[in-house]
Chain A
Amino acid sequence: MNMIKINILKTIIVAIALIFVLASCDKIDAPYIVPNAPEDTAACPVPEFPAVTAHYKRALIEDYTGHTCVNCPRAAMITHDLKSQYKDSVVVIAVHAGFYAKPSTSDTVWAYDFRTPAGTEWDNVFKVGAVGNPNGMVNRKGYPNNQQVLSPPSWANAVKNTVAETPLMDLQLITEYNSAEDKLCIHSKISFLQAFTSRSLNISVIITEDSIIQAQKNNDATVGTTPSILKYVNTHVMRGAVNGIWGTPVQLVAENSSFAPVVTTFKTHFTNFNLNTMVPKNCHVIAFVYDTETKEVLQVAEAEVSE
């Protein structure tokens, strides 16, 4: 009798273990696709891109941060310093995502929500917040070999190495903003500088905003008051992705031993981001081209939002 009971128990354990595996499935119902939003760029005539004589590789620092992350203002200082040192060669996106970016539901001081769907998804994929905040990436190098997450003190070296590389392409960006229509036209031009074997490339277009004054936790007295800076001036805050979380494919057309220049126009509106508080003149448009397989950012450009 005892033997039978024990066998039943064993069977139950094995059965539950099996349920484990079987329950790990996602049943998807129709529709099975996310339809593309219709792109209407007719109202955005393509301007003449100025000729570029000096080509150089630019570095993209993604600083994963949060307004309740006490160590993050110090990391923001590092991006600020690198930006001052390298000027246009460094582009910064402050991605508010993860636990320390969660708005408080009970305390209005910390209720501001900086998060964006794209920033949250990037953080899920690159696991920056899971490693800890503050941390970041420089040109997303090291993915998918689990080496993409860099601590703030190591950003300077990664930037130095990146900007010293020979660029594979040049990326130009022109923005035109019509405040009356809240119409932002973004024109990008990729000019290939080297021959390379076919790679699948995407271009991502991002809006960032400076001078957002909100409360920030802080434990570094050299940066500001501790434990909170109630009027912290946030810079490079990612506000959203213009062309989807992972951007859109770059349509490559072979030309000689390389590819023909690719000019793409994007049209968007600040109201798209559903943030009534956004100040267009404080915003920047950032575009970056990356290899869809390795996710490495090959070139990046930044432009102010100008009328």
Chain B
Amino acid sequence: MAALICIFPSLLQAQNNNIGSQVNGNFQMDAQYYRVDSAIGALPVPEKMQMNSWTNITYTSGDFNAGLRYETYLNPVNGYDPRYKGTGIPYWFVDYKTGKFQITAGHIYEQFGGGAIFRTYEEHNLGYDNSLNGIRVKFSPAKGVELKGIYGTQRYFWDKGPGIVRGGDADFNVNDLVASLENSKLRVRVGGSFVSKYQADEEIYNSKQEKLILPLNVSAGAGRIDLGYGNFGLNAEYAQKINDPNAMNNFIYKKGESLLLTATYNQKGLGIIFQAKRLDNMGFKSKRTETGNVLDIGYLPAITKQQTYTLAAFYPYATQPNSEMGLEAQVNYKIAKNTFLGGKYGTDIAVNFSAINSIVKELVNDTAIMDASGTLGYTSPFFKVGDTKYFRDFNVEIGHKFTKSFKLLFTYMYEEYNTAIIEGHIEDTVLVHANILVAEMTYKLSPDKAIRLETQALFTKQDEGNWIMGLLEYTVAPKWFVSVADQWNCGNSDTEKRFHYPLVAVAYNNDANRIQLSYGKQREGIVCVGGVCRNVPASNGFTLTITTSF
């Protein structure tokens, strides 16, 4: 690493005259100053102030790329895993292309197909980074063929995970390979990947104190096909993983499998997406005793709509890697302008529905115990849907521009949310039923000044009861932004817990630089992954955010 840092300036010097060379970077700092607020449960923070920051620098010169990221968490802000505490350069890479090869050494973000058996990525705002520290080779022997190979270990906070991950992926664009299909309306793309994880043996016992015989090498394979014909598209990816006893699945030896089907239709003014998914024992990490949100080798996306409005995002679904079955359908329709319902500018309508249930689990034999460690765990008929509801979401979004300066967006949402499954903790009521209404109005006062008002309401008899929220935002483009918001837990059954969570923010933008100062209260939350739950304490205080890029 030190060598890389030393080489950098000379590289810059050497390449500066080269027209194709470029240095880019970005920076973000989030510093929070905490105040004690015993009412909402904001506890004293010994440091009083905590800060997360990262700086990315990338250098590009023709077919050569290099980059690094400096991170500092002193100490990690509220809600981040405390194991991020520290400062350093956890990410750097060099990459070059030569002929049909591309070589990357260092830390790698890569994905095979949809990512079911391999995806490394970074999501700073979620405190997630599972980058692979190793090498990647890409080889394109012919047009329409791409082969990839990876080999390395994964990031584990400031260290590396104990497992070695290696794998390969082949992707074929059939239209490029078969001359008769070159100009066909039918577009076909197929691919396949294989990943294997090695981890040294260790002592793990079942409840009868019998030592488990652990597989040191665990492999997974996936195949995918992508078809397109005119406005229609169909994508399928199936993945399978051999016995992988781990802390997430309670050390059972059943194979894992997943299937994701996506069908789309698009034409002017109409878009339809339909997705179906089945997941069974697909938690795949490069450390078998790990229960946290780290070291994932595979990526299992949720096929539910990602809600952006605060109250609509109160009960977000999280994929259950151990097992789930579900479907999602979304229709986007634009009512043409200059019609009765479309008005002068047209009306956008989006309807979305998703449903996630358990899978059916059956005992391996009459004497077996379901999910017992050191056994196959269970069997499961592939096409049968389980009875336990995990999640339901039906939502309608209507957007209409009334005049050149006034726009209204209206959202209605009905949700059912299984706290026991999704949050991993059992309360008196397992299923939360919630109705959510959101109205968002944007009014342009002048070409550079706009006011945005959000009103939101969440109605539920379970959990913390009803919430309402208002947000008023004033923007003076391109420099200034001010917003005032309040969330009020007006329907909490415990009248002493009917708290307000205000948030005031002011931001100043200067080209690609932004400085934002906000004051607010954050409610407490619970995050559960793999049978381990942690409380994200409530907070009350100031946040200073600076972002810049060049």
Binding site for B on A (CB under 8 A): 6, 9-10, 13, 16-17, 20-21, 23-26, 69-71, 74, 77, 81, 84-85, 98-100, 106, 124, 127, 129-135, 145-147, 149-154, 156-157, 160, 217, 219, 222, 226-227
Does the CB pair A131–B542 fall under 8 Å?
no
A146 touching B544 in the complex, CB below 8 Å, given contacts A69-B533, A133-B534:
no
Does the CB pair B82–A127 fall under 8 Å?
yes
Most buried by B among A6, A21, A99, A106: A99
Does the CB pair A16–B517 fall under 8 Å?
yes
Determine whether B204 belongs to the interface, using a CB cutoff of 8 Å to chain A: yes
| Option from B31, B85, B203, B508 in Cβ contact (under 8 Å) with A157 | B203
Tally of B interface residues using CB under 8 Å: 52
Residues of A within 8 A of B534 (CB): 99, 129-133
Determine whether B227 belongs to the interface, using a CB cutoff of 8 Å to chain A: no
| Option from A81, A132, A153 in Cβ contact (under 8 Å) with B251 | A153
Residues of A within 8 A of B203 (CB): 156-157, 160
Residues of A within 8 A of B365 (CB): none
Residues of B within 8 A of A129 (CB): 534-535
Chain A nearest CB, measured from B94 CB (Å): 27
Does the CB pair A151–B532 fall under 8 Å?
yes
Chain A nearest CB, measured from B214 CB (Å): 11
Does the CB pair B83–A131 fall under 8 Å?
yes
Residues of A within 8 A of B369 (CB): 222
Does the CB pair B508–A130 fall under 8 Å?
no
A132 touching B292 in the complex, CB below 8 Å, given contacts A24-B33, A81-B207, A157-B202:
yes
| Option from B82, B426, B533 in Cβ contact (under 8 Å) with A133 | B533
> In the complex, A13 Cα to B517 Cα: how many Å?
7
Residues of B127-172 whose CB lies within 8 A of A? 157-159
Chain B residue with minimal CB distance to A156? B203
Does the CB pair B205–A156 fall under 8 Å?
yes
| Option from A146, A151, A219, A227 in Cβ contact (under 8 Å) with B158 | A146
Does the CB pair B207–A77 fall under 8 Å?
yes
6 closest A-B pairs by beta carbon, nearest first, are A99-B535, A227-B426, A154-B289, A132-B534, A132-B532, A127-B82
Binding site for A on B (CB under 8 A): 31, 33, 46-49, 81-83, 85-86, 157-159, 202-205, 207, 209, 247, 251, 288-292, 369, 372, 420, 424-427, 479-480, 494, 506, 508, 515, 517, 527-529, 531-535, 537, 542, 544
A146 touching B85 in the complex, CB below 8 Å, given contacts A23-B48, A70-B424, A153-B204:
yes
> In the complex, A73 Cα to B358 Cα: how many Å?
24
9 additional contacts (CB under 8 A) given A70-B533, A133-B533, A146-B86: A6-B479, A16-B544, A17-B517, A69-B533, A81-B205, A129-B535, A219-B420, A219-B424, A222-B369
Interface of B (DSSP majority class): loop
Chain A nearest CB, measured from B545 CB (Å): 11
A131 touching B544 in the complex, CB below 8 Å, given contacts A13-B517, A24-B48, A160-B203:
no
Chain A residue with minimal CB distance to B372? A222
Does the CB pair A106–B494 fall under 8 Å?
yes
The count of A-to-B residue pairs whose CB atoms sit within 8 angstroms is 132
> In the complex, A160 Cα to B251 Cα: how many Å?
19
Chain B residue with minimal CB distance to A21? B49
A13 touching B291 in the complex, CB below 8 Å, given contacts A24-B33, A71-B533:
no
Chain B nearest CB, measured from A86 CB (Å): 11
Chain A residue with minimal CB distance to B482? A9
Chain A nearest CB, measured from B481 CB (Å): 12
Does the CB pair A9–B424 fall under 8 Å?
no
Chain A residue with minimal CB distance to B246? A153
Chain A nearest CB, measured from B7 CB (Å): 28
> In the complex, A74 Cα to B534 Cα: how many Å?
16
Residues of B within 8 A of A70 (CB): 424-426, 533
> In the complex, A106 Cα to B497 Cα: how many Å?
12
Does the CB pair B290–A151 fall under 8 Å?
yes
Most buried by B among A106, A149, A156, A219: A156
Chain A residue with minimal CB distance to B507? A13
Residues of B within 8 A of A132 (CB): 291-292, 527-529, 532-534
| Option from A100, A124, A226 in Cβ contact (under 8 Å) with B426 | A226
Chain B residue with minimal CB distance to A149? B83
A151 touching B289 in the complex, CB below 8 Å, given contacts A24-B47, A100-B535, A157-B204:
yes
Most buried by B among A77, A85, A130: A130
Does the CB pair B48–A71 fall under 8 Å?
no
| Option from B83, B86, B247, B542 in Cβ contact (under 8 Å) with A153 | B247
Residues of A within 8 A of B480 (CB): 6, 9
| Option from A21, A151, A160, A227 in Cβ contact (under 8 Å) with B247 | A151
